[in-house]
A and B are shown apart, each in its own frame.
Chain A
Amino acid sequence: MMKWKAVVLVCCLWLSGCSSIIFIGQTPEDNKTAAETGLVAVDNLIVRGDEQRRRGQLDIASATLERAVRLAPRSPDVYVALSRVKLDAGQYSAAVQFAQKALSLFPSKVSWKQERARTEAQWVINEANKKR
């Protein structure tokens, strides 16, 4: 009986952990992109490009993420990551366009990860519109 209670307790703790990740997670303000395609190699490129962006290497970040676009051209997440680069580069019109491209590619029913990326795309559009 104790054993089962322990299992239930562990499950509850695990689920609560998941929910905190789900609901707290990373927001665009964290300055890290939430983009994630599910293709590990492409996601590695997104992570690399995002790191380059945060280091201010915007040109090379753009090249890295365009490479990711070529690998997964129908994935909305790569466009989200690219829109962040354009935003940081002050190319607000391009940032809006890439974010809109991303939004057009999200399916109507999205996972929680995709929801975060979609929120981020919307955030990019708002930020770019505020600044331009």
Chain B
Amino acid sequence: MARSSDKSTDKKTKPVKKMAQKPVKKPAAGKKPTAKKAAAKKPVNKKAVAPKKTSGAKSSASNGAAKSAGKKASAKKTPVKKAPAKKAPQKTTSKSKPKASSKTATTAKKSSAQKTKKITTKKASVKKAPIKKSTTKPPSNKKGFLLRLFLVFLVVAGGVIIYADAIIISKFDGKRWSIPAKVYSRALELFDGAELSVDQLRRELQWLNYRESFGDMKRGSFRQRGESFEISSRGFDFWDGRESAHYVSLSIRNNKVRRLEVDGQRNEVVRLEPVLIGGIYPAHNEDRVLVSFDQVPPNLVYALLAVEDRDFYDHWGVSLRGIARALWTNVKTGAVKQGGSTLTQQLVKNFYLTSERTLTRKATEAVMSLLLEMHYDKDDILEAYMNEVYLGQSGKRAIHGFGLAGLFYFGQPLRELEIHQLALLVGLVKGASWYDPRRHPKRAMDRRNQVLSLMLDQGYISVDQHKRVSARPLDVIKKPMYEDEKYPAFLDLVKRQLHRDYHDEDLKSEGLRVFTTLDPGVQESLERSFANIFSSIDQQYGTQVQGKHQAALQGAGIFTHSNTGEVVAVVGDRRPRYKGFNRALDAYRPVGSLMKPAVYLSAIEQGYHLGSMLDDNPVTISLPAGKEWSPKNFDKQSHGMLPLQVALSRSYNQATARLAMDVGINNILDVAKRLGVKKTLPSVPSISLGAVSLSPYEVTEMYQTIAAGGFNTPLRTIRFVLDNQGKPLQRYEIDVEQRFDPGDMFVLNSALQETIAKGTGKSAARWLDPSLALAGKTGTSDDQRDSWFAGYSGNYLGVVWLGYDDNFPTPLTGGTGALPVWAKTLTSLAVVPLDTPKPGNVEWVWLDAEKQARSQSHCDKAIFIPMVVNTIPEKQAQCGQAGRVMNWFNQWFDD
């Protein structure tokens, strides 16, 4: 069903030269479009949505709101003659199937059109009858027959009107449009002490399309002087209420926000609005952002009236004057230059009918327009028109309504647009694809200026204003801010969670607003890092790899907030915009040494400490059925006896396999489960070296518990969901569960810090300051088919995987492939050092590992390690004064 205005040729806009010379005043008081009437009005669909279930999420008090909406609905079934639309209730309830409601949107027009056709056919047959009879009946019966015919006509016409009336009311009062759910990123919080870099803030303002201002600070603008910022925020509706628009000033020193003032007040915290990152679209892909009449800038209304229907506030839905004027213009010019349809007729055509050019359709349109005007006031009709009109195309997605068009073309909410921008949008009504400002800027500019001239002619703008705004550029942003699924891997994860809690139809049609945990700064940093590493690997190993293998090396990664479990970035493919196979969630690959922390944590729980001596000599383990397993170290060397801390940080397989057998495979499986591995792992010795396939998401779940100090923190991608009225629908709470002793976790963390400081992850120092004391673990599967890294700071946890989809060996280890992606990602973020508080049951001790005795700092081979108090040996090793002197010299030379 074609709805777009540009497809119709009966356009109503008169060329500038043809307009009446006499300036037309703005609509008279009482008729002038005003926001007062619409103040209490909501433009959005009125259906209440309830989540499928409440497990894992908190259903809000809005259920009560939904009930009250339901009550309203029952109280308001009969249409009232005047303006019921504002308070018109939602007729469907939360339990009603949205499928049916969404069908209404698409089938209403068809059904109404079909019905109309049927009725007019009947009329035709009725008309035929008297012609036959008139030839046979005597003239005396003719009068009576005509009377009867007239009565039949009245009955049929009455039926048509009643039917049309019912259609008009049912659709206008009910759910007018299917609105796809909108998905937002997290909102950036600004407060004194917040970790934030200048680049991060600047990028955030760019994503939100804040304009750099050099004069007045209007809403949605900012000013930067070095490290100091002034921001005029827009305001936004959050779960816990509205964040008003504010004037914010701050400076950033050493990656921290300083001297923040909000409207001149210190010690405040302020949220910028979240970035719109995508939507959940129905098959027909019609999208809109609804605006209420009071949100619309008056200049948009003036432009619309000037161009499309100057008599809008004077006619009854059909304008004879408008038709005459169009006729006159067309006759004069000898071509169809202007249409005579009013805005009401256009709305009726787009909303209820088809765009077929027949007299029947035109007549139905006129009748329905009159009926619509009888029931609803002008502002309601204008508001519906402004939300309905087709204004552009983005791939499969049709851009409807001025609310979305403002974001699509200018990246700004409608209320922030200036006259020249509003004029362009109004100009697009005539033909959104013909005047597309991105593809045909010259045409669009001419059309915009034509609209401005009409506004001048009709007295909506002054000559000076016209001169000034006509000289302005189009100001259209290159790429729409509102891209369809900008971060597909993350949105995939969000949708999976949403589909557990909501019906698919609700997501596609109920206009839900989903507030996620995505941090665009981290996401883009992760994407950049992948791109850099792929490029570098291609250069370094290109010939070696491509000579044997044609498929591209792939990668996936997930970053979370290490303490709250909120997922902040997901990449699922080498091409981050690719919407196909999401490796972050669905690629199950052998994890290699990433499983070792489970082995060592199990050992620590059983009384091992970082100084416990392990045997890294060759080992052979007997398996059932007479088989044997003889794991080898990556470097094919054996390293004899060494402290546990060294075995883990250097990722020695022989020592780990032997330790695993001592600890017990079932205990390791139990630890893995408590860490968050939900999959049932096989009880085999090789599990200790990671002979199990997990997805990057599952590995993240496991390391989340480690990074959070032994507290299992389920990963979350959604913070809350609002319904189409902006009311809270569901909140997803932070959840924690302690699964390990803090002392044991502190010891394990220390060993993983050692991995980054001196072990297999020491290359991180190329990108990251060692004083950050980061922790992590590399993982490399057999034949280097998989390169893994999982690491964390005080605020971020990141898991990265690289490999081929068909398991072809790579030239990479965990340290040379995945680790650089992780490290580079962190370099552009404000990273908090990993400074875990020492639990009460832990002490830092100098230990002589060979003697398993307490030692002193100056003793040779003494290591300084954290130990759970009940594992500290009582024995004290002496090393004498010579050791102290030697140690002093060693330290002196080390320095």
Contacts and interface: CB of A to CB of B under 8 A. Distances in A.
Contacts of B846: none
A66 B733 contact: yes
A98 interface: yes
Sort A-B residue pairs by CB-CB distance and give the 3 closest, nearest first: A41-B191, A73-B563, A41-B269
Given A71-B194, A106-B837, A44 B60 contact: no
Contact of A97 (B720, B731, B738, B794): B738
Contacts of A69: 563-564, 734
B227 interface: no
B192 A41 contact: yes
Nearest to A108: B838
B192 A104 contact: no
B192 A101 contact: no
Interface residues of A, number: 28
22 contacts: A39-B192, A39-B193, A40-B266, A44-B268, A59-B60, A59-B731, A60-B240, A62-B733, A63-B240, A67-B240, A69-B734, A71-B191, A71-B269, A74-B832, A97-B736, A97-B738, A98-B736, A104-B711, A104-B738, A104-B837, A105-B709, A106-B837
B645 to A, nearest CB: 22
B561 interface: yes
Interface in A69-91: 69-71, 73-74
Contacts of A66: 733-734
Given A73-B563, A107-B838, A45 B269 contact: yes
Contacts of B736: 97-98, 101
B712 to A, nearest CB: 9
A57 to B, nearest CB: 10
A84 to B, nearest CB: 15
A108 to B, nearest CB: 5
Contacts of A100: 711, 738
Given A71-B189, A101-B736, A108-B840, A59 B58 contact: yes
A97 B737 contact: yes
B733 A39 contact: no
Contacts of B832: 74
A59 B710 CA distance: 27
A41 B257 CA distance: 12
A3 to B, nearest CB: 36
Contact of A42 (B58, B240, B269, B738): B269
Interface of B: 58, 60-61, 189, 191-194, 239-240, 260, 266-269, 561-564, 566, 709-711, 720, 731, 733-738, 742, 794-795, 832, 837-840
A39 B191 CA distance: 9
Contacts of A33: none
A125 B737 CA distance: 14
A107 B837 CA distance: 5
A101 B61 CA distance: 28
A70 B711 CA distance: 16
A40 B192 contact: yes
B240 A64 contact: yes
A73 B563 CA distance: 6
A44 B193 CA distance: 14
B839 A70 contact: no
Contacts of A94: 735
B209 to A, nearest CB: 24
A13 B665 CA distance: 65
A70 B837 contact: no
Nearest to B517: A70
User: By CB atoms of chain A within 10 A, which of B562, B734, B738 has the most?
Assistant: B734
Nearest to A94: B735
User: By CB atoms of chain A within 10 A, which of B61, B720, B733, B742 has the most?
Assistant: B733
A45 B795 CA distance: 20
A59 B738 CA distance: 23
Contacts of B61: 59
A67 to B, nearest CB: 8
Nearest to A93: B737
Nearest to A60: B240
A28 to B, nearest CB: 20
Contacts of B710: 104
Contacts of A104: 709-711, 738, 742, 837, 839
Interface in A1-52: 39-42, 44-45
